[in-house]
Amino acid sequence: MLKLILFFQVILLSLFLGAGYYLYSELQTLSSEVDNALAVISDIQSLLPKLELAVDSVISLETAFQSLAGLSDILNLLLDPLQGNS
Q: Is 7 within a domain?
A: no
pTM of the model: 0.55
Q: What's the total number of domains in the chain?
A: 1
Buried b (16+ CB within 10 A) or exposed e, 6-40: eeeeeeeeeeeeeeeeeeeeeeeeeeeeeeeeeee
3-state secondary structure of 86: coil
Residue 11 counted as domain residue: no
Distance CA 53, CA 60 (A): 11
Please report whether residue 57 resides in a domain: yes
**pLDDT by residue (tens digit) across 5-44?**
999 999 999 999 999 999 999 999 999 999 999 999 999 9
Task: Look at residue 24 and tell me if it is in a domain.
Answer: no
**Is residue 14 situated within a structural domain?**
no
Q: Which domain holds residue 68?
A: 49-77
Tell how far CA 69 is from the center of its chain.
37
Each residue of 65-86: pLDDT tens digit? 777 777 777 788 777 766 655 5
Residue at 56 is within a domain = yes
